[in-house]
Amino acid sequence: MRERVLTRPYKCITMDPTALLETDSKSLRSVNGSRRNSGSSLVSSSSASSNLSHLEEDSWCIWGRMVNEWDDVHKKKEKQIKDLVRKGIPHHFRAIMWQLLCNAQNMPIKDQYSDLLKMTSPSEKLIRRDIARTYPEHDFFKEKDSLGQEVLFNVMKAYSLVDREVGYCQGSAFIVGLLLMQMPEEEAFCVFVKLMQEYRLRELFKPSMAELSLCLYQFESMIQEHLPELHIHFQAQSFHTSMYASSWFLTIFLTSFPLPVATRIFDIFVCEGLEIVFRVGLAILQMNQAELIQLDMEGMLQHFQKVIPHQIDSDKVIQAAYQVKYNAKKMKKLEKEYTTIKSKEMEEQVEIKVRFFNQISGQVTRAQEAEENYLVKRELATVKQQSEEATAQLEQARQTISRLQGQQPPHGTMLQLEKELVQARLKEAESQCALKEMQDKILDIEKRNTSLPDDTNVARLQEELIGVKIREAEALTGMKEMRQQVHDLEDHWQRHLARTAGRWKDTPKKNAMAELQDELMSVRLREAEAQAELRETRQRMLEFETQNQIHSNQLRRAEQEARCLNDRVQTLTSQNKDLLLQLQEIKRRQAEIECKSKEEVMAVRLREADNIAAMAELQQQISELEIQKEEGKVQGQLNHTDSSQYIRELQDQILELSLKITPHQFPRTAAFSRFKVHDL
């Protein structure tokens, strides 16, 4: 296909690709206008056909030049390329354009394709099963074991080996089938790998389907924003988004719309990505809102499956799709919201699993401890019984020794008794050691039992277990008695048969009596067997009732423990709230104290600054007074009277200054006082 496209002669191959791209929209509009305005006259029809043929040649020139000079065109004229793709890629250029748009023309994985076909995939049976369901009405795929089905199997098998995490998914076969309609299988494989890796299809087809859930969540939010009435109707009818939109995202409308319409949408998908699915989906809902609001859930399903595919027009749908407001930032925000919701759900599920596991492990631990307690007590009872028996034997031996000593037995008898006494004492010591060990075990178990939530549960379990053992012993005793009776009847029957073996020569009356006796013995034997079976049935019934009672007790204890845990959780929650309130009050008080301390520190610093300024001013005045005093001394030498008066005035000023400086408590106050006294 690609060789045929590239070797086709173009008359306008020398045209500038930029000019061709700019004139394309005008050419296509003229085609539409010529179609709408075609009249019934022969002249107009012939002119329209000539215009169409001319415009078709122009379209071939545009797309051919674009393919040949793709490296230059797709970098400089990206917007014009998108406009041309939205108007539809010609069928003959679709294969090479899809490869160019997704950059799949020179992929290294293409060389591995033949080796992948030789390998075995674990998904081969599933692929074979679904091949017949992929485009069953298309001529390329409808015949069994045809070329189309074989190449579709090869591509799906190769990808399941390349991406083992995704493997094979049924919806992906429709995308591969569309690619195989346009190009050979190796190129289709490369394009499909590129679409899966870079167009979010791989995340959509993962086993968890997490990306599909995200897309449905985003699409439902768009419906709620742009079509609130329809969203309310869907909610009222329990018509979930996944019921009609899942196939839109998984197959890019290939299973929902006719193949020509879906191919037009797939052109835009290869060029622009998954955004076109959101746009087309919302456009379809806008165009069918009035009909959908009037239908119930089944009616809406029928409308999506049968009515919309027959009424849809590719040009109208694409035009309406690009009138939809699509905000990429808001979609990112919705993705973050969905991730947060899912993470919270996962945390809740993990917490529930942990609680259930802890509850089960606690029940198992308590049951094991109760069983160990019962076994230890039973062993203790056995040891006590052995100790009592040993004590009785020892006492009997002592009595025998005292009796023999009174009788003054011979020396050999005394030695034998001494040996028996030593053996009895050894047995007693062993019994005491065993008794001490059992007492230590009992103390250890009692310490562990103190940590159990309720001692009455253990006592109740012990009582129930003792009752079960008693009932079991009674049933076994009854079984033994019944079996003994059956055995006796069988012996009696055998003896009766032996007695009646030689009576076949007797008279008919005696024979009839013998037969009646035989029947009577048979009836009694069957009655005994029936009673034995009845006893066995009752024994099994008792066992079942015991198991039921044990299970009921376990369930009751679990419920009690759950209630205790809930009460404890509520108590801890209330304590936590009280502590939080106390902490908030302490933080508030601490903040108030810090504010007050800062204000006090600022006030002290301000007062210190004022004191320092006042001290500096007073020191300046003291310096001036000292200078005046020296000047007064010099003048006093000239005029003694005037100098004395001047000195007194200076002393008065110095006294006033000392009174002013005293409240500030400056360190130099003592020095200043010494200076004043010396001058006086």
Q: Which tens digit of pLDDT belongs to each residue from 159-182?
A: 999 999 999 988 899 999 999 999
Instruction: Identify residue 519 by its one-letter amino acid code.
Output: E
- pLDDT, residue 494, reads 73
Low-confidence winner among 15-24, 37-46, 71-80 (lowest mean pLDDT): 37-46
Q: What percent of the chain shows pLDDT beyond 70?
A: 76
Please, which residues have CB within 8 angstroms of residue 233's CB and are 6 or more apart in sequence?
239, 292, 293
What CA–CA distance (Å, rounded) separates 179 from 191? 8
Burial class (CB in 10 A: 0-12, 13-18, 19+), 634: exposed
Rounded average pLDDT over 317-341: 91
Residue 224 pLDDT = 94
537-566 mean pLDDT: 80
Whether residue 384 is predicted with pLDDT greater than 90 in this model: the reply is no
13-27, 55-69, 142-156, 243-257: which has the minimum mean pLDDT? Answer: 13-27
Question: For position 501, what pLDDT does the model report?
Answer: 59
How much is the pLDDT for 662? Answer: 60
Give the residue, 595 or 469, on which the prediction is more confident: 595
Write out pLDDT tens, residues 83-119: 999 998 998 899 999 999 999 888 889 999 999 999 9
What sections of 639-680 are H helices per DSSP? 640-661, 669-679
Q: Please give the average per-residue pLDDT across 465-489, as a whole number.
A: 74
Asked if the model's pLDDT at residue 488 lies above 80, the reply is no
The mean of the pLDDT values for the chain is 77
0.95 exceeded by the pTM?
A: no
The confidence score (pLDDT) of residue 232 equals: 95
- Confidence bin at 593 (pLDDT 50/70/90): confident
Residue in 618, 620, 630 with CA at minimum distance from that of residue 659: 618
Task: Return the top range by mean pLDDT from 220-224, 437-441, 518-522.
Answer: 220-224
Angle formed at CA 477 by CA 476 and CA 481, multiple of 5 degrees:
115
Give the phi and the psi of residue 427 in degrees, each rounded to 5. -60, -40
- Mean pLDDT along residues 182-209: 92
Asked if residue 47 has pLDDT above 60, the reply is: no
Q: Report whether pLDDT(123) > 70.
A: yes
- Residue 9 is predicted with a pLDDT of 32
Half-sphere exposure (CA, 13 Å, Cβ side) for 534? 7
Higher pLDDT, 3 or 218: 218
Share above pLDDT 90 across residues of the chain, in percent, rounded to a whole number: 30
The model's confidence at residue 678, banded by pLDDT at 50, 70 and 90, is very low
Mean pLDDT of 443-472: 67
Out of 21-25, 154-158, 574-578, which region has the weakest mean confidence (pLDDT)? 21-25
State the pLDDT at residue 35.
Answer: 34
User: DSSP string spanning 220-274?
Assistant: HHHHHHH-HHHHHHHHHTT--THHHHHHHHHHTTTTTS-HHHHHHHHHHHHHH-T
**In this predicted structure, what is the pLDDT of residue 608?**
83
- Mean pLDDT score, 440-454: 67
Both structure tokens of 243: 């019921």
- pLDDT tens digits for range 626-659: 787 777 666 655 455 455 666 677 777 777 776 7
Of the ranges 312-326, 426-440, 442-456, 566-580, the best mean pLDDT one: 312-326
Mean pLDDT comparison of 38-52, 477-491, 505-519, highest-scoring range: 477-491
Which fold, 99-343?
A: Cyclin A; domain 1 (1.10.472)
Is a pLDDT exceeding 90 seen at residue 353?
no
* pLDDT grade for 411, boundaries at 50, 70 and 90: low
Highest-scoring range by mean pLDDT, 269-273, 400-404, 507-511:
269-273
Residue 565 has pLDDT above 90, yes or no: no
The predicted pLDDT at position 506 comes to 54
Q: What is the mean pLDDT of residues 571-575?
A: 85
Q: Sorting pLDDT into bands at 50, 70 and 90, what band is 74? A: confident
Rounded Cα gap, residues 353 and 553, in angstroms: 23
- Quote the CA–CA distance of 303 and 237 in Å, as a whole number: 15
Q: Using CB atoms within 10 Å of the CB of residue 201, give its burial: 0 to 12 exposed, 13 to 18 middle, 19+ buried.
A: buried
Helix (H) or strand (E) segment spanning residue 215? helix 210-226
What CA–CA distances, in Å, run from 196 to 149, 185, 206, 342?
Answer: 21, 16, 11, 24
pLDDT exceeds 80 at position 680: no
Coil, strand or helix at 549: helix
> Which of 7-11, 370-374, 507-511, 593-597 has the highest average model confidence (pLDDT)?
593-597
Choose from 71-80, 127-136, 389-398, 603-612 the range with maximum mean pLDDT.
127-136
Among 291-300, 343-352, 593-602, which range has the highest average pLDDT? 291-300
**Residue 390 pLDDT > 90:** no
Least Cα distance to 449 among 366, 557, 388, 542 occurs for: 366
Per-residue pLDDT at 417: 63
